[in-house]
Chains A and B, each alone.
Chain A
Amino acid sequence: MLVYPQLLTGALAQYPIIKRHRTRTISNVFDDGSSIKLSDTTGETTEWELRYAGLTDDEARALEQFFAAAEGNLSPFTFLDPTANLFSWSDHLDRADWEKGPMLLLAGGQADPAGGTNAWHLYNSGGAPQRISQTLPAPGNYVYCLSAYAKSATAGAGVTLVRGPNTANYTIGPGWRRITFSGGANASADYVEFGIEVPAGVALDIYGAQVEPQSGASGYKPSGRGGVYPETSFRDDTLAITAIDVNRHSATVNLIHAKHL
């Protein structure tokens, strides 16, 4: 699987990041100003403009080698949106995108730490740990940060975050706490499972589950489709990298994802 490279820091991009989302609507406008509109759902495109500054020799070389491997804008690759939550439907744990343990009971509409009602109450009624997770078509050799807000009415309750074959245990109490778990997954895998595991008999509240392709957690972003974009391409067939000093390079990369491709 061809995958857009991370920098040495584990970040995928630097600020500023510009993202353009385009849709296509066919409109018939009548003389009285009214109109009939029809969306061309396969005509959507998403573009990213990534501006890099201060790249090391190794990072610049990796970018150049990746551009050569993709043969410019010829071959598609997987791109993880650095501005998005990789989970799909992160506020809707009852959707089919989430794989749930059979003994895990969910109840939505709970008060969340952002002042809304998008938290979920999870109760493991079974005798073994149960998890809720998504398996994403994302590279195992990336650095990821999985984060979520959690609380439990029982002080000292446990919860486990799952990142591929790796797990981390946390203790939570009655107040909301943001727990984060960052690092790599399984280097050879093309799919990575991310999720939350609830020990047997434990009840807790979860909000803001988020996976990002970087080493630290940023502000929570409720998601829809999720931030994994397979079949992304370079927009252009040239890549210019400018050396501005010893071991310092700059470049601007334009990527495009078209829904119909």
Chain B
Amino acid sequence: MAGNFPTLHTSAIAQYPATRNVRCPNQVLWFVDGTQQRYRNSNGPLHRWSIQLDQLEESEMAALEQFFNDNEGCAGSFAFTDPWNGTVYPNCSFAVDELELDTLAELKGRTSFAIEENRG
């Protein structure tokens, strides 16, 4: 575990627009007569959050970059607070191994990334 996800200076975790996905891994088998059989392929839903951040200060960008480095990309796991309802998901990771940081001007940084919940 590499600590908690860093919040912005406003204490916010995300900005608008933000997208939240819930995935329920199921399996559907179709038979030649048109019938089907469905069953759960996991023991519960998995969450994923797409986060776009704009107008970031240098220190906020540095904190996010350091957190990404501490986690070694998507290898590490951390606790993430769902910005919609405040639920803490204790086992989450970055979804991809890349973090792009755009510095557009002073006090005007921008980045985006996705966080996904891990199973187990």
Which of chain A's residues has its CB closest to B99's CB? Answer: A21
Known contacts A16-B103, A25-B73, A83-B101: does B59 contact A33 (CB below 8 Å)? no
Choose among A25, A38, A220 the residue with the greatest number of B CB atoms under 10 Å from its CB: A25
User: A15 contacts B73, CB within 8 Å?
Assistant: no
Number of A positions contacting B (CB below 8 A):
34
Known contacts A16-B102, A222-B62, A224-B66: does B42 contact A24 (CB below 8 Å)? no
0/1 per residue, A12-31, Cβ < 8 Å to B?
A: 00011111111111010001
Chain A nearest CB from B53 CB (Å) reads 15
- Interface residues of A: mostly helix, strand, loop or mixed? loop
Which of chain A's residues has its CB closest to B108's CB? Answer: A15
Residue B38 interfacial (CB < 8 Å)? no
Residue B82 interfacial (CB < 8 Å)? no
Q: Could you tell me which residues of chain A, from 85 to 112, have a CB within 8 Å of some CB in chain B? A: 85
Residue B97 interfacial (CB < 8 Å)? yes
User: B118 contacts A23, CB within 8 Å?
Assistant: no
Whole-angstrom CA separation of A224 from B58 in the bound complex: 14
Partner of B119, one of A18, A19, A34, A224: A34
A-B contact pairs, 19 of them (CB 8 A): A15-B104, A16-B103, A18-B101, A20-B100, A23-B74, A25-B72, A32-B43, A35-B119, A35-B120, A39-B76, A114-B59, A219-B57, A219-B59, A219-B107, A221-B61, A221-B62, A224-B66, A224-B70, A225-B69
